[in-house]
Amino acid sequence: MLSRIICVTALLLLSQLSVTAAPADTGGEKVGTPAPNLGLTQWVNSAPLDIENLRGKVVLIRWWTDTCELCAATAPALRQLQQEFSGDGLVVIGVFHPKPAGDWNLERVRRAVAKYQFTFPVALDGDWSALRRWWLDGANREYTSVSFILDKNGIIRYVHPGGEFHQSNGSPQHAMCERDFKQIHSMIGNLLAEH
């Protein structure tokens, strides 16, 4: 009887370890693949855009929402990248995904766009259909605030799996955020230089 209890306990512990030890997928499998269409029809600051419309441009796409502190922390970096590189051919696109999914209130998106001072195109992904096609698709993802960088041919060249990226202003707790921002900045610069 004691051996059966030990066996069951060991199995329970092992099954729990395998669940908690599974790392979140970082999206590396997406790099080098053609970006899917966004397929979104409600936009702020732009008529509807899709990947075919953006050939010849480097594109930074960021999913974000108005109730996310990490998204708020990243907003200045998005504005900075747009300001620095848009004249060279970068298009920044925000994709608003409400939490929970199902809110199709475009006025909410307009208020959030104004709050964060976004002048770049922002689409509403009210039911997360684009987010599922681009990112979630059954994978174990830690964040929904994902960013993709596409090259001039619409190929995904970089994935930031979510959370925040920005300059740290010397703050040690944001050193990783600054490292990620520098990677994104460098990737955009390199892709814009490609012919």
| CATH number of the domain residue 42 falls in | 3.40.30.10
Q: Which residue has the higher pLDDT, 171 or 121?
A: 121
Identify any residues that bridge with 156 across adjacent strands, giving them in sequence order.
150
The answer to whether position 7 is within a domain reads no
> Alpha carbon of 91 to those of 53, 54, 65, 139: distances in Å?
11, 8, 19, 27
Give one word for 186, left, alpha or beta, with left for phi > 0 and alpha for psi -120 to 50.
alpha
For the chain, how many structural domains are there in total? 1
Q: How confident is the model at residue 176 (pLDDT cuts 50, 70, 90)?
A: very high
The answer to whether position 103 is within a domain reads yes
Q: What six digits make up the tokens of 30? A: 């997406």
Measuring CA to CA, which residue among 81, 89, 88, 34 is closest to residue 62?
A: 81
The answer to whether position 15 is within a domain reads no
The answer to whether position 157 is within a domain reads yes
Average pLDDT of the segment spanning 63-88 = 97
Q: The domain containing residue 76 runs over which residues?
A: 33-193
The answer to whether position 10 is within a domain reads no
The answer to whether position 182 is within a domain reads yes
Rounded Cα–Cα distance for residues 102 and 140 (Å): 21
The answer to whether position 128 is within a domain reads yes
Average pLDDT of the segment spanning 131-156 = 95
The answer to whether position 11 is within a domain reads no
pTM across the whole model:
0.87
- pLDDT of res. 24: 63
